[in-house]
Structure 1
Amino acid sequence: MKVAIAQIVVEKGNLPHNLAKHLYCCQLAANEKADLVVFPELSLTGYEPELAQALAVELTDPVWETLKHSARKNQLVISVGMPLKTANGIQIGAVQVWPNGTLYPYAKQNLYTGEDTFFVPGTNDYQFTLQGEKISMAICADISDPQVPLRAHRQGATIFLAPVMVSKKGLTHDRT
């Protein structure tokens, strides 16, 4: 199995621009025969907690149709970051878009200090199987809780993916 990591810089709140960048990266990943392409935390909107309420979407939003088309066309699973509207509130989501059109959302469980002003935590682990590999998802601060990777290991994960938006150099640096 080949995994492509698309650690891209996005424009604050500019969904059309960021979506186009995602589609381009999906094509590049497909050209390299990737089976899965993983984008950073909140990759479709940028890491903009204060805009989350306005930018959050449900899984019925038209943006997903565009990504489903790309997954189908490129025959790969796409994992994108997006604020998600849920019954519990806005969550930091990583949504896996499959070539058959299925969407599987995972919501960040461990919020950083201050994120709880804008987001509610997820409550469920998420695993999927691709090309015989059992893949567990996490998002950024989830890896700071040792129970998250431990549960993944106990559930038989062979790959542990944890997309992040902010590098060690910090958010200000990453936005330039």
Structure 2
Amino acid sequence: MKVELVQLAGRDGDTAHNLARALEAIAACAADTDLVVFPETHLMGFPTRDTIAALAEPLDGPTLQAIAQAARAHDIAIAIGMAERDGEHYYNTTVLMTPQGIALRYRKTHLWASDKGIFTAGDRYATALWKGVRVGMLICFDIEFPESARALGQLGAELIIVTNGNMDPYGPTHRTAIMARAMENQAFAVMVNRVGTGDDGLVFAGGSAVVDPFGNLLCEAGREACRQVMVLDFDRLQAARNDYRYLDERRLTLPGERIEHADGRRELMIPQDSF
């Protein structure tokens, strides 16, 4: 699977600008690219309590519809973050958009300090199939909790996508975490972070990366806007899982209702007493 990581600056509260940059990046992908990944909440930037109502859109809103059109036009899957409106609730959401439509929606389950009071936490983990590969998604702070990636591993994830909005001084934390989460679940991990400075003065750390199922860092970006291209060899999954499989050897299983969908999606619901 050929994957492109697009590490961008973005602008908080400027959906038109962020969408334009995303569409330009999608149009610039190679013809044989299978998947392109963008940062956390790239489409709207990070909202505040004052701006969330104006910025957030439903999944059938105009901004995501433009991404859907680009996925069809370029025959590519797109993982991209947004501020989602669903009724009276707002979510920090990443969507996996394919030429056929939304293959997967993930709502951030572990809210960072600046998320709280703005977003509602998600209530499930999920995976879907894209070109024969089982894909799961996490968002930023999620990867600092081993259980988040383990939930995806328990659902059979072979590729973990992390849309990231990690800032200084925590860049090294996510570098360590993404390598550990890939090794623990013997899966590929692709993490794409934001760069530049946000409206609140936060300096985003970059460091987008690809990690193999052994936990080896295959590529790592610096602190500037850039594009990285990697081809993931899924034969490495079998090699990593040949002598031992952590998921088979584990003594504890995460609780929660597992749901199998006819379209190949799998979900693990977070128990209500965890909220």
TM-score, reference length from structure 2: 0.59
Aligned length: 175
Gaps of 5+ in 2: 171-196, 206-223, 225-275
Q: Does 1:45 align with 2:44?
A: yes
Q: After the TM superposition, which residues 144-155 of structure 1 pair with which residues of structure 2 at under 5 Å, given as runs? A: 144-155=144-155
Query: Which AA in structure 1 matches 2:107?
Result: A
Q: In the alignment, what sits opposite 1:165?
A: 165
Match of 1:36 in 2: 35
How far apart, CA to CA, are the structure 1 residues paired with 2:97 and 2:57? 15
- Give distance in 2, aligned partners of 1:116 and 1:57: 18
Cα-Cα RMSD? 2.0
Native 8 Å contact 1:88 1:120 kept in 2: no
**1:16 to partner: Cα distance:** 1.1
Separation (CA, whole Å) in 1 of partners of 2:151 and 2:101: 28
Query: What TM-score, normalized by structure 1, do the two folds share?
Result: 0.90
Distance 2:159 2:88 in 1: 29
- Deviation larger for 165-174 or 33-42: 165-174
**5+ unaligned residues in a row in structure 1: which ranges?**
none
Identity of aligned residues (%): 26
Q: Which has the higher strand share?
A: 2
Shift of 1:32: 5.4
Between the aligned partners of 2:111 and 2:72, the Cα distance in structure 1 is: 32
Partner of 1:130: 130
In the alignment, the residues of structure 2 paired with residue 133 and residue 103 of structure 1 have an alpha-carbon distance, to the nearest angstrom, of 12
Q: What is the distance in 1 between the residues matched to 2:168 and 2:27? A: 28
What residue identity is the alignment partner of 1:83? Answer: A
Cα deviations by residue, 1:70-105 (Å, 9 ceiling, x for unpaired): 001110011111110124610001012210233632
Structure label with greater radius of gyration: 2
Cα distance in 1 between the residues matched to 2:102 and 2:111: 27
* Residue in 1 that maps onto 2:67: 67
Taking a change above 3 Å as real, the CA distance of residues 150 and 72 of structure 1, as seen in their structure-2 partners, is same
